[in-house]
Amino acid sequence: MNPPIAVAVYGAAGRMGQALLRAVHERSDVQLAAALVREGSAFAGKALAQTLGDAAPDLRYAAALDAAIEGGVLIDFSGARGFDAALALALARRLAFVSGSTGLAPSQLAALDAAAAMIPVLWSANFSLGVALLTRLVRDAARALPAWDCEIIEAHHSRKLDAPSGTALALGRAAAAARGQDFDAVAALARTGEQAARSEGQIGFAAVRAGDIVGEHTVLLATAGERIELTHRATDRAIFARGAVAAARWLAGRPTGRYTLDNVLFS
């Protein structure tokens, strides 16, 4: 049997970070090498057992990656504010890079492409297997019904910082690509007042922020007299963590390049 793949989690103090630590611990083919938090974090120096229970690995939260750790994968869910440092660390240590950080600026997305020349990189707005399949269905539906109106509605918990969600934007880009459209030219990220009317070929977005909603996405295709709604609802944040860890295991040892969750699921 091959030895387990070393995995470092960047942004380990957050809700997704905690879920990732648990997901890594559940598997025998990966091994937690580091739980990384920002400088000055209240978690720094604490034993993982203090937050994850007695079954947690015998490690402490740290603000820096141990110099002895080589190879493996860095998983980043630190958000747009932590993303640059996470990617820089992966490049400096030549670690495969898996990221689910959303709300990234165009320059940060471009940095992923540049990094892929030096390390294997896999970024996804959503690591749910169901969302990966939904994206395929959206492509097919948008291509088959190019004249139908396309609207994307997403709902998340009240503390989510970015809107529309990264997953909603990825679904919109999939629909636009399937129709041969320039996404930036047809996307309506918000509608207010006199700007609410649709224009032909537009892909519209609506965002809901309420309570503790984990994540819901609906792609609505409508024309006169009928409509199709493709919906995915997540009820447990652990599904994203499990998907990210599965992607990390798959990515380890791959050649340099840019990969997608489609590669993990359907290659």
d(CA 3, CA 23): 18
pTM of the model: 0.78
Mean pLDDT of 106-124: 97
| Annotated catalytic residue 160 | yes
Best mean pLDDT range from 28-42, 127-141, 215-229, 251-265: 215-229
CATH, domain range 5-123+237-266: 3.40.50.720
What pLDDT, on the 0 to 100 scale, is given for residue 1?
A: 61
Beta strands of 11-118 (E only): which ranges? Answer: 30-36, 61-62, 73-76, 96-99
Best mean pLDDT range from 22-31, 36-45, 180-189, 194-203: 180-189
Question: Which of 254, 5, 243 has its CA nearest to residue 125?
Answer: 243
69 burial type by CB count under 10 A (0-12 exposed, 13-18 middle, 19+ buried): middle
Beta strands of the chain (E only): which ranges? Answer: 5-10, 30-36, 61-62, 73-76, 96-99, 120-123, 149-156, 187-188, 203-209, 215-223, 226-234, 257-259
* pLDDT value at 96 more than 80: yes
Cα pseudo-dihedral 48, 72, 107, 130, rounded to 10: -80
- Active-site residue among 25, 46, 156, 217? 156
Domain ranges of the chain: 5-123+237-266, 129-234
* pLDDT value at 245 more than 90: yes
DSSP state letter for 92: H
What pLDDT, on the 0 to 100 scale, is given for residue 203?
A: 98
d(CA 51, CA 16): 13
The superfamily CATH assigns to domain 129-234 is Dihydrodipicolinate Reductase; domain 2 (3.30.360.10)
- Active-site residue among 25, 46, 160, 232? 160
